[in-house]
Amino acid sequence: MLALRVLAVVAALVLPAAQARAETLTIVQRSIADEKAIFATVESISVVPARSRIGGTVAQLHVKEGDAVTRGQAIVVVGDEKLALQMKSLDAQIQALQAQADQAQVDFNRTQGLVERGTLPRVKLDETRTALNVAQNSLRARIAERAVVQQQLNEGQVLAPQDGRVLKRLVAVGSVMLPGDPAVTIAQQDFKLRLRIPERHAHFLKAGDRIRIEGAESGEEAAKWGVIDLVYPQIEEGRVIADAKVEGLGEYFVGDRLRVWIAGDARPAFVIPSSYVTTRFGIDYVQLRQGNHAVTVPVQRGRDLPTTDLPDGLEILSGIRAGDQLVRP
């Protein structure tokens, strides 16, 4: 029994020591991105006008500001009374030419029978065949002309050039439009963040860099991450223009300004798991291993720096140095 008690006491002493050694962390200085806060604007990839293809008067207007539209959707109908009158005139001419063609066909059939029986000379057959061809060609010409006018009437519908959202209406019902006049402006649905970065950070900026949007800016609890996909090669008014793609970005307000964080440069820092830090009476402490003992020292906490290897990473500004061994509390 005494031997069993001694073994139990030794195990109780060795196990915490092994756990402490297993949970020891050696401080290593690492290079992190020095983030800068800038303002970005929610903008569409392209804003295009929907234009009228014919002149006339706006008869119908199917959209308003903020409406979502799809490619090919009729959003405005432009009417021209002259085209309707031309259609009526061509319909009447087509009916008259159809009657002439029918009569020419009857005359040709009758003449052909008489020529075969030898009652009329063959020259009469040639004359009726020519008259039939003229009547049929005149009918085809009027039908083609009517198709042209019908196409002009169909072009009175102003179609959405792409999927997107209506930003502004430029006409009202009853407005007079000329061919090529814009009716509405449409923002392409695929929105991006447009960043305007001071030129002193231009050399550190490249496509593929990540940006961060705080949850308070995006209206959500968690922060959003995006990727810069295009850096424009021209500096305007001392600023570099770049576009960033952010998943789940709002799709309504164009021109909304958000504060985003970008990597302006790199700097050395100490990053440790936040579980190694304890707070008592408003002061942060860590435990350092010195020999076989753990000493509690105060540290100055920085900001959270989550990384792929340290999801709960925390920057420590002072109180530790490279090579120190931390013990989990």
CATH number for the domain harbouring residue 314: 2.40.420.20
| SS3 state at 211 | strand
Q: Which of 186, 178, 141, 134 is nearest to 161 (CA)?
A: 186
Sign of CA dihedral 217, 219, 225, 230: negative
**DSSP class per residue in 96-150:** HHHHHHHHHHHHHHHHHHHHHHTSS-HHHHHHHHHHHHHHHHHHHHHHHHHHHHH
Sign of CA dihedral 161, 166, 169, 173: positive
Check residue 18 and give its pLDDT. Answer: 41
User: Model pTM?
Assistant: 0.50
Q: What is the CA radius of gyration of the chain?
A: 41
Q: Which of 269, 303, 310, 311 is nearest to 284 (CA)?
A: 303
**Which residue is it, tokens 């435990």?**
287
Check residue 221 and give its pLDDT. Answer: 59
Check residue 138 and give its pLDDT. Answer: 92
Check residue 298 and give its pLDDT. Answer: 92
- Pair 280, 266: CB distance under 8 Å: no
Question: How many domains, in total, are found in the chain?
Answer: 1
Residue 319 inside a domain? The answer is yes
* Domain of 277, in residue numbers: 23-32+268-327
Residue 274 inside a domain? The answer is yes
Check residue 133 and give its pLDDT. Answer: 93
Check residue 17 and give its pLDDT. Answer: 42
Residue 283 inside a domain? The answer is yes
Check residue 105 and give its pLDDT. Answer: 92
Residue 276 inside a domain? The answer is yes
Give, for all 329 residues of the chain, the pLDDT tens digit.
Answer: 333 343 333 333 333 444 444 478 888 888 877 777 888 888 877 888 999 888 888 888 889 888 889 998 989 988 877 777 888 888 899 999 999 999 999 988 988 888 888 788 888 888 889 999 999 999 999 999 888 888 877 778 889 988 888 888 999 888 888 888 999 999 877 788 888 888 877 777 788 888 888 755 555 556 778 888 888 888 888 888 888 888 766 655 677 788 888 877 778 888 888 888 999 998 999 988 888 888 899 999 888 777 667 778 888 988 888 888 888 87
Residue 133 inside a domain? The answer is no
CA atoms within 13 A on the CB side of 144: 6
Residue 244 inside a domain? The answer is no
Check residue 9 and give its pLDDT. Answer: 35
Sign of CA dihedral 169, 170, 176, 177: negative
Residue 281 inside a domain? The answer is yes
| SS3 state at 234 | strand
Residue 242 inside a domain? The answer is no
- Helical H segments across the chain, by residue range: 2-22, 81-117, 122-154, 215-218
Distance CA 40, CA 274 (A): 31
